């Protein structure tokens, strides 16, 4: 321990105008210190200190400073002397203390006992930075006298000086100080001084520290916060270390932590909760930690703090889910009281994961309120608002899958709120809600009638054409009884409006309205009126023609469906036609007046719609043919038996939807199994993994690594075994090892490349294979592609058969392939240069499978601008084999199942990610030609041009 803490680093404040050559001469500096005035001494000391910190040596100057500067009463000189004693070399090359330094101890003792509190405190800080045992032995008695000084500044620095002595040389000099520290700790009023006293007392006498803690905490039950934050934090850290070193003390010390957890300080509460979760798995203790976390969540206003605490609670979910279920109300209150969408998402995600039979009513009730809040009170212009609405719908779907009996309550909230929202370009909440309603009607037949009634009641409020398409399809498919069919048809026709559909006549365009002035749009109307005296008179009234026309047009209310029909929503009209046709086909068995009336009204609608759009070139042929097919079927429906086309229209759609839902469920189950398998592989222990024995580790390692039980660090020295023995992946990055030179070269070089997102760290192990010292060994690195050197390796000297590690930092700017090469040089009679083998880096080798939902895939596909199209060129003849080879080559996740490959056509999607979290989306459309070959097109979309290009190159 003494070797590590004894090294002191200094900063070079200025290296420019330190002093001229004449002023920096030893004799000049010494003359100013001995014979100069106060200003000369100050200047000379500044020069001396700066030159020493710049690695200059003035060994004979110590006595001059002792005799003529240290005894000065000037405060500026006193400060400079303290800096001088801190910077000057205090030991001989053999490690013994210099005689001059021993003489300086008497002057240090005088300053430690000075009447000036500042001089005492500053000298104590100096002593704490001197790791020389002879000096510390000479001044330890004076340091102990300062423990009980009247001023807290002196006491605080005296205690920290003792702690520094303990770190430098151990407990040897402090064995007799514990009683004095304990007494001072009982009487101390300054919090920071009390903290310092407790830390040093805990280091030298743990039993006394625990006894003091019992005394303090037993008298502070009412308000433990009065002890101070910094003191309580130091106590928590000390208790944590003690439980680590002696686990048998854990039951006794946990009571102290429970008492401290009653503090009102946020930092103390957070550390208490963290310590409890690390030290014990007791249910009672974990409840205390959870209560502390939840208290912080409710009281803190900083969103970053809330996110940190939420992540801590999420980490406890796997082990203590039963305990967290009891806290579901507190977790939901976080969603209610937070304005951040990210916090609301995480808290809601946690709450839905913890749903159980006991608390499902609380979660469902909250989701209903959250749906109403998200539909009305959020800002429509914010992108995160629409993403949050979509997130709520997904959580509703997760909950209803587990507990189908909650569907009626939550469905009514969706139908009356999210379905009535206007459409959005990227996140259409109404469409997501409609898709969820469709899945419910298909999967749960018992709710079809109630859901159908809700759709019919809210149909006139739906403003999203995409959502209307889905809901109209549901009405056509799931209206089975005669009553439901009649209600569905009447509701649709009511929303369509009066028939037949006609062009608007005498309609003034918006441009014409804007072109006319207010005077031009007004018309004078003369009206006869009765005057007050009973005679008749006339009155002129000016009326706005546009207002009269608008009022006449608005006599009949226009629902959204009617507006979409009159606009260019042709696909919606095609779906509407098929929906009406399905309803009439189902009524065919009755052949009553209702059937005939429905047929006539439908034909009037179809014909009038085609008539008004017959001159509209924008009407696509598909929807035109679809409507024409409906007309043909309805014209002969009552005279002919049920045809194949009627069966297809009224039954095949539901079968296809059922297969899609089954495939979706299978994919979700597969993802769950993959995550579980990944989790089990992460916690598995390899047969050849090193076994760690805590009792055999040294004291320093035991104190420094408290998390040893979770995962100890590898004790193997890289410089002894080389990097090739540690070629493995770390949790925060990927590690690759390369041999860069041969074993017969004068310098053997191994490189270990660590990839951390866009930062690369190249650790180079240099081994001198000769018996001679090689001076000024330098590694020069050259890069190719998008890699740039940020920090070059330092120049070093290698003794015979020795080794050393140097580091270089590099930066990556995109995912394009790159390379690193270079050479090693060292000084010799003849210049020697050893070339290094090149390191080729292809970031496409680190592609990782991505996972997302269909909605997320569509959203990313619409957002990403860069697209790369590649024609399929392969010798493979089997479609499934080609898809598997493509998936393996890209290490991608296939999002859609391989259905329909028997027909010779296949369309599927892939999702993969780079090491830099750059997404790549692939749409593969292939077919098998008559010659037996596979042809088609692969479309790649990514956020950056480089990613799309690299994926395309890899496929080729």
Give residue-wise pLDDT tens across range 841-851: 877 777 888 87
Dihedral sign from CA coordinates of 552, 557, 560, 564: negative
pLDDT band with cut points at 50, 70 and 90 for residue 741? very high
The DSSP secondary-structure symbol of 733 reads B
| Weakest-pLDDT range from 510-519, 560-569, 604-613, 709-718 | 709-718
Give me the pLDDT at residue 55, please: 66
pLDDT band with cut points at 50, 70 and 90 for residue 566? confident
**In terms of Cα–Cα distance, which of 736, 787, 730, 800 is closest to 763?**
736
Contact 788, 810 (CB under 8 A): yes
Alpha-carbon distance of 744 to 442, in angstroms, equals: 73
pLDDT digits (tens, 9 = 90+) for 20-33: 666 777 788 888 88
Average pLDDT, the chain: 79
| Weakest-pLDDT range from 410-424, 465-479, 533-547 | 533-547
Give me the pLDDT at residue 922, please: 92
Mean pLDDT of 173-195: 85
Burial of 422 (0-12, 13-18, 19+ CB in 10 A): exposed
pLDDT band with cut points at 50, 70 and 90 for residue 78? confident
Q: Give the pair of three-digit tokens for residue 296.
A: 């912080």
pLDDT at 318 over 80: yes
| Weakest-pLDDT range from 172-176, 403-407, 785-789 | 172-176
pLDDT at 83 over 90: no
Give me the pLDDT at residue 548, please: 45
Give me the pLDDT at residue 804, please: 92
pLDDT at 806 over 50: yes
Q: Between the CA of residue 233 and those of 216, 238, 267, what are the distances in Å?
A: 15, 9, 8
The DSSP secondary-structure symbol of 590 reads T
Q: Give the pair of three-digit tokens for residue 856.
A: 């997320």
Give me the pLDDT at residue 709, please: 37
pLDDT band with cut points at 50, 70 and 90 for residue 899? low
Alpha-carbon distance of 564 to 573, in angstroms, equals: 8
The DSSP secondary-structure symbol of 533 reads T
Give percent of the chain above pLDDT 70. 80
Alpha-carbon distance of 650 to 478, in angstroms, equals: 10
CA 683 to chain CA centroid, nearest Å: 22
Contact 897, 663 (CB under 8 A): yes
pLDDT at 794 over 80: yes
| Weakest-pLDDT range from 466-470, 471-475, 896-900 | 896-900
Residue by residue, DSSP assigns 160-189 as HHHHHHHHHH-SGGGTTSHHHHHHHHHH--
The DSSP secondary-structure symbol of 931 reads T
pTM, full prediction: 0.68
pLDDT at 102 over 90: no
Q: Give the pair of three-digit tokens for residue 869.
A: 């199209």
Contact 727, 736 (CB under 8 A): yes
Give helix then strand counts, H and E, for the chain: 40, 17
Give me the pLDDT at residue 426, please: 60
The DSSP secondary-structure symbol of 772 reads S
Contact 608, 501 (CB under 8 A): yes
Alpha-carbon distance of 695 to 572, in angstroms, equals: 75
Alpha-carbon distance of 947 to 920, in angstroms, equals: 7
pLDDT at 260 over 60: yes
Give me the pLDDT at residue 648, please: 67
Q: Give the pair of three-digit tokens for residue 629.
A: 């097919």
pLDDT at 940 over 90: yes
Give me the pLDDT at residue 141, please: 87
pLDDT at 395 over 80: yes
Alpha-carbon distance of 263 to 265, in angstroms, equals: 6
Mean pLDDT of 306-314: 90
Give me the pLDDT at residue 30, please: 81
Instruction: Indicate the helix (H) or strand (E) that contains 751.
Output: strand 747-756
Give me the pLDDT at residue 714, please: 34
pLDDT at 750 over 50: yes
Alpha-carbon distance of 210 to 931, in angstroms, equals: 86
Give me the pLDDT at residue 545, please: 52
In the chain the first and final C-alpha atoms are separated, in Å, by 58
pLDDT band with cut points at 50, 70 and 90 for residue 14? very low
pLDDT band with cut points at 50, 70 and 90 for residue 749? very high
Contact 758, 812 (CB under 8 A): yes
Residue with tokens 């079927």: 633
Burial of 636 (0-12, 13-18, 19+ CB in 10 A): exposed
Contact 757, 810 (CB under 8 A): no
Long-range CB contacts (< 8 A, 24+ apart) of 367-371?
367/392, 367/395, 367/396, 367/399, 367/410, 367/413, 368/409, 368/410, 368/413, 370/335, 371/396, 371/410, 371/413, 371/414, 371/417, 371/418
Alpha-carbon distance of 623 to 242, in angstroms, equals: 77
Alpha-carbon distance of 90 to 917, in angstroms, equals: 53
Q: How many residues does the chain have?
A: 956
The DSSP secondary-structure symbol of 444 reads -
Give me the pLDDT at residue 687, please: 62
Dihedral sign from CA coordinates of 188, 190, 191, 193: negative
**In terms of Cα–Cα distance, which of 355, 357, 358 is closest to 396?**
355
Burial of 914 (0-12, 13-18, 19+ CB in 10 A): buried
Higher pLDDT, 752 or 559: 752
Give me the pLDDT at residue 764, please: 94
Which residues make Cβ contacts (< 8 Å) with residue 810, sequence separation at least 6?
A: 759, 760, 761, 762, 781, 783, 787, 788, 789, 790, 820
Alpha-carbon distance of 473 to 667, in angstroms, equals: 25
CA dihedral (556, 558, 563, 564) in degrees, to 10, reads -130
Give me the pLDDT at residue 16, please: 47
Alpha-carbon distance of 819 to 799, in angstroms, equals: 31
Alpha-carbon distance of 649 to 482, in angstroms, equals: 18
Which residues make Cβ contacts (< 8 Å) with residue 481, sequence separation at least 6?
A: none
Instruction: Indicate the helix (H) or strand (E) that contains 110.
Output: helix 99-112
């Amino acid at each position: 321990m003494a070797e590590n803490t004894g090294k002191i680093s200094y900063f070079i404040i200025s290296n420019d105008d330190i002093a001229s050559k004449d002023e920096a001469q030893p004799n000049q500096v010494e003359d100013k210190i001995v014979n100069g005035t106060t200003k000369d001494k100050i200047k000379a000391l500044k020069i001396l200190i700066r030159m020493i910190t710049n690695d200059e040596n003035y060994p004979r100057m110590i006595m001059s400073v002792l005799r003529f500067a240290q005894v000065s009463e000037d405060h500026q000189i006193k400060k400079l002397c303290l800096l001088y004693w801190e910077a000057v070399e205090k030991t001989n090359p053999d490690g013994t203390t210099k005689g001059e330094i021993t003489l300086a101890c008497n002057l240090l003792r005088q300053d430690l006992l000075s009447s000036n509190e500042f001089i005492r405190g500053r000298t104590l800080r100096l002593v704490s930075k001197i790791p020389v045992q002879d000096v510390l032995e000479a001044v330890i008695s004076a340091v102990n006298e300062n423990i009980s000084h009247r001023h807290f500044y002196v006491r605080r620095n005296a205690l920290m000086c003792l702690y520094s002595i303990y770190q430098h040389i151990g407990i040897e000099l402090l064995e007799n100080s514990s009683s004095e520290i304990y007494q001072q700790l009982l009487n101390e009023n300054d919090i920071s001084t009390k903290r310092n006293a407790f830390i040093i007392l805990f280091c030298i006498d743990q039993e006394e520290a625990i006894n003091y803690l019992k005394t303090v905490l037993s008298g502070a039950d009412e308000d433990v916060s009065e002890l101070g934050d910094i003191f309580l934090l130091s106590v928590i850290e000390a208790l944590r270390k003690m439980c680590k070193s002696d686990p048998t003390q854990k039951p006794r010390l946990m009571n102290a932590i429970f008492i401290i957890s009653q503090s009102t300080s946020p930092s103390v509460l957070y550390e208490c909760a963290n310590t409890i979760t690390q030290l014990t798995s007791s249910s009672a203790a974990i409840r205390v930690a959870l209560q502390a976390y939840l208290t912080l969540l409710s009281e803190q206003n900083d969103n970053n703090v809330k996110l940190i605490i939420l992540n801590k609670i999420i980490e406890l979910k796997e082990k203590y889910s039963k305990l967290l279920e009891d806290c579901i109300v507190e977790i939901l209150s976080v969603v209610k009281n937070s304005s951040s969408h990210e916090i609301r998402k995480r808290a809601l995600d946690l709450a839905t994961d913890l749903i159980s039979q006991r608390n499902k009513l609380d979660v469902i009730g909250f989701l209903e309120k959250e749906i109403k809040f998200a539909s009305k009170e959020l800002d429509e212009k914010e992108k995160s608002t629409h993403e949050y609405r979509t997130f709520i719908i997904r959580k509703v779907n997760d909950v209803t899958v587990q507990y189908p009996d909650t569907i009626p309550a939550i469905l009514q909230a969706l139908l009356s709120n999210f379905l009535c929202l206007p459409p959005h370009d990227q996140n259409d909440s109404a469409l997501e809600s409609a898709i969820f309603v469709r899945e419910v009607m298909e999967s749960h037949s018992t709710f079809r009638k109630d859901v159908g009634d809700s759709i019919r009641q809210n149909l006139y409020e739906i403003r999203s054409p995409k959502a209307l398409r889905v809901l109209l399809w549901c009405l056509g498919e799931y209206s089975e009884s005669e009553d439901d069919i009649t209600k569905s048809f009447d509701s649709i026709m009511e929303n369509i409006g009066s028939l037949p559909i006609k062009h608007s006549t005498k309609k003034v365009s918006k441009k014409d309205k804007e072109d006319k002035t207010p005077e031009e749009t007004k018309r004078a109307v003369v009206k006869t009126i009765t005057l007050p005296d009973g005679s008749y008179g006339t009155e002129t009234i000016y009326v706005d023609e546009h207002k009269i026309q608008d009022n006449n047009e608005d006599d009949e209310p226009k629902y959204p469906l009617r507006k979409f029909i009159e606009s260019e929503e042709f696909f919606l009209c095609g779906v509407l036609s098929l929906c009406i046709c399905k309803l009439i086909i189902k009524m065919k068995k009755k052949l009553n007046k209702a059937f005939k009336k429905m047929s006539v009204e439908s034909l009037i609608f179809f014909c009038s719609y085609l008539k008004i759009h017959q001159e509209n070139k924008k009407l696509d042929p598909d929807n035109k043919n679809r409507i024409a097919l409906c007309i043909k079927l309805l014209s002969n429906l009552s005279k002919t038996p049920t045809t194949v086309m009627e069966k297809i229209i009224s039954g095949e759609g539901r079968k296809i939807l059922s297969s899609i839902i089954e495939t979706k469920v299978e994919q979700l189950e597969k993802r769950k199994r993959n995550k579980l398998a990944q989790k089990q592989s992460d916690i598995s222990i390899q047969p050849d993994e090193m076994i760690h024995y805590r009792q055999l580790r040294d004291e320093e390692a035991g104190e420094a690594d408290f998390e040893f039980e979770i995962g100890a660090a590898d004790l193997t020295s890289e410089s002894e075994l080389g990097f090739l023995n540690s070629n493995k992946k770390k949790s925060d990055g990927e590690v690759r090892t390369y041999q860069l030179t041969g074993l017969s070269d004068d310098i053997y070089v191994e490189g270990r490349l660590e990839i951390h997102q866009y930062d690369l760290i190249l650790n180079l192990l240099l081994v001198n294979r000769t018996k001679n010292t090689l001076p000024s060994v330098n590694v020069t690195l050259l890069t190719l592609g998008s890699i740039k050197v940020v920090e070059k390796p330092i120049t070093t000297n290698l003794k015979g058969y020795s080794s050393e590690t140097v580091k270089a930092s590099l930066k990556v700017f995109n995912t394009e392939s790159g390379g690193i090469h270079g050479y090693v040089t060292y000084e010799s009679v003849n210049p020697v240069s050893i070339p290094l083998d090149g390191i080729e880096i292809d970031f496409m080798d680190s592609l990782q499978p991505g996972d997302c939902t269909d909605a997320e895939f569509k959203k990313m596909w619409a957002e990403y601008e860069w697209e790369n199209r590649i024609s399929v060129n392969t010798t493979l003849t089997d479609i499934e084999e080609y898809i598997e080879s493509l998936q393996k080559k890209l290490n991608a996740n296939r999002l859609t199942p391989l259905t329909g490959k028997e027909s010779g056509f296949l369309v599927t999607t892939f999702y993969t990610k780079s090491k830099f979290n750059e997404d790549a989306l692939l749409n593969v459309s292939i077919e098998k030609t008559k010659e037996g070959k596979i042809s088609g097109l692969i479309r790649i979309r990514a956020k950056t041009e480089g990613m799309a290009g690299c994926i395309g190159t890899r496929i080729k």
